[in-house]
Amino acid sequence: MSATGLGAVLVVVAAVAGGIGTALSPRRVRPWSAGSATALVGLAGGVLGLSALRQGLAPVTIGWLLPLIGTTVAADGLSALFVLLVAAVTVATGVYTVGYAQRTPMARTTAGMLPLFAGAMTLVPIAASVGTFLVLWELMAGASVVLVLAEHHHAEVRAAGLLYAVMTHLGFLAILAGLVAFATAAHGQGFAGLAAHGPSLSPGLRTLVFLLTALGFSSKAGLLPLHGWLPRAHPAAPSPVSALMSAAMVALGVYGLLRVDVTLLGSGPRWWALSLLLVGVASAVYGALQSSMATDLKRLFAYSTSENMGLVTVGVGLSMLLVGSGQPVVAALALTAALLHLLAHGAFKTLAFLSAGSVQVGTGVRDLDLLGGLVRPMPVTTLMTGLAALGAAGLPLGAGFVGEWLLLQALVHGLAGADVVVALVIPLTLGAVALTSGLSVAAMVKAVGVGMLARPRSHAARAAVEAPATMIAGMGLAATASIVAGLAPVLLAAPVGAGLGVLAPGLPVAARPLMGVTLRVPGLAGELSPTLLAAVMTVAVLVAGALGLLGTRRRPPARPVPAWAGGALEPGPRQQYTATSFAEPLQRVFDDVLSPQVDVDVTHYAESAYLVQRVRFSHSLPDAVEVRLYAPVVRAVVRGAELVRRAHTGRIHLYLAYGLAGLLVVLVVAR
């Protein structure tokens, strides 16, 4: 057995044995069992990913494992990249789970399902047949539904779990229909055969497969307009589950797009690329806007996930568009940006949700309006949240900066020699990416400045306590990965290069972006060295600090006096910005898009209609897409269900007539 096959076996054994052992373990041991089993799945996934990166895995079929269809697995460079991403997220989350489950006890089912969920995600990228892929995908989806419903005794959790279950299974049905149609036309279910027959399928069938699979995978990736489960499921799920879903599971939605719609189907008409580009731009802008409005910390990070998956999809769509316009080098740069940003997102989003869980455990709340002043009682959590926010904002030295910089370089250089369509699309995309970056910075400044700094605005914030050592260790692993992605992306060159080799096999190695200490693209102007930039900024900070100390020594000692604050000796929490007031100017600008709901209820005294007893002001910001798109669809489905219900009268003769009519329809269609 090869090392890659051994890694796959280790993942299966660790997931199954860890899940069963955790479910059967006593309550006091369960936190250590759940965390250790999940971390072991991640370590086994690391073995699988590294061996796949080094030597790959030729297709291996096990006929007896799945009746009738068998199981086929294989691994190439693209598989290795996503396996390593899932494995890294799983290890950090597993270590964190030990302390989290001690502070927030997990039920037996939830704890046992955690390693199984991680194992299913790790194995999805090595599926090499339609049947194997669909089974592993549904195992991942089913396990995630169970984990989202971990605290099902709360009504809002049940509602979020129901919405997520419906959307994830509708997405699965779309993927199922698309892949089954593809396999039927190709007369086989192996991915190698599908790749050989994909370009030769009829245009209508290729378009149908693209639309169905892109719809299903974009739902899992949290792309607009199928993002609605993200801001509902993440606040409802335990924080380790949120980290696994937002950093790893949504990335597998992008993997599905890359595997099926890029490699198996082959190049398609230009509108395929334009549709992905449009969806990516809309997801990025809308996700960043909603993130800047959110006051729930986990909801804020959930919308940030939609934003970043939108940026990744922009890179994928841009690469497809540039390949069609004869610019393969710039197309490879766009793909490199997408893959690198995907890895960086896995790092800083893991850290973000683990930090949000630490805030919730330490204070009992996630509402930014009720937080503040956490920098003193929770200094480590504050630092970790700041690192995550720096990466999510796409600022220099942050994990997300390099990927966004490469994406901007691809957009700028894509204008050279572009035709009319590309010349119109790229400037609009460039403006949308710039707007997304600005909104993302505002959202992350709000998360850190309002939530962590300033003064505590509630008793829960004043009574905050730091997270235990195991939670800090898990956050530390994610923080290390974020620092590597931001300062030394050269360490990610091997998996990114392997994935690019699968997605752009015809591009010579010499024409691919060079990911050394300095990032550059052969034949294109512009280069970046994050390591050198970090060194220069570090030296500048040290010099500024040294000059400040010299100036302090030469000045006479300062005499402390109370700061003037409009007559108040001690500024209180009511005299500072909340998350809601911080976002209010942006809300005014985007009022038509956000459609906020404002209500003023005035109660008068019974004796006089001119004397006001109480004024109640309420403000809510529901998801505009959910209100304008989901709600009408749900109402139509309910009306249809009512019509169907009227047809069920309970009379056996009527049911026999229905059966006869159905049989006649089948016979006519078959004829």
126: which residues sit within 8 A by CB, 6+ positions away? Answer: 8, 48, 52, 57, 73, 74, 75, 79, 83
- Asked whether 224 and 319 are in contact (CB, 8 A), the reply is no
Q: CB neighbours of 433 closer than 8 A, spacing ≥ 6? A: 281, 284, 311, 314, 404, 407, 408, 411
SS3 of 598, please?
strand
Query: What are 604's strand-pairing partners?
Result: 612
Q: Hey, what are 112's tokens?
A: 């046992």
Note if the pTM is more than 0.75.
Answer: yes
31: Cβ contacts below 8 Å, ≥ 6 apart? 97, 98, 99, 100, 101, 102, 105, 106, 111
**Predicted local confidence at residue 229, as pLDDT:** 87
Nearest to 590 by CA among 453, 442, 481, 463: 442
Q: What are the tokens at 500?
A: 């690019």
pLDDT for res 462: 87
Q: 519: part of which helix (H) or strand (E)?
A: strand 519-520
Q: Residue 46 CB: number of other CB atoms within 10 A?
A: 21
- 213: alpha, beta or left, given left = phi > 0 and alpha = psi -120 to 50? alpha
Mean pLDDT per 10-residue interval, the chain, length 671 residues: 79 90 88 92 92 85 76 89 95 93 87 92 92 92 90 84 88 92 88 87 90 93 88 88 93 93 87 93 92 90 93 93 84 90 94 93 88 89 93 88 89 79 88 92 90 85 89 94 89 89 78 72 73 80 81 68 63 72 79 77 78 78 78 81 76 82 85 68
190 three-class SS:
strand
pLDDT tens, position by position, 153-212: 888 888 888 888 888 988 999 999 999 999 988 888 888 888 888 888 888 899 999 999
Q: Quick count: other Cβ atoms within 10 Å of Cβ 142?
A: 18
As given in the structure block, the two tokens for residue 422 are 């590309």
Residue 317: the pLDDT is 92
Model confidence pLDDT, tens digit, residues 581-621: 777 787 788 877 777 777 788 888 877 777 887 888 777 77
Q: Which two tokens stand for residue 6?
A: 């051994």
pLDDT value of residue 554:
64
What confidence score (pLDDT) does residue 566 get?
63
DSSP 505: T
- What's the confidence (pLDDT) of residue 40? 94
Q: How far is CA 261 from CA 36, 75, 138, 205, 468, in A?
A: 36, 18, 19, 13, 44
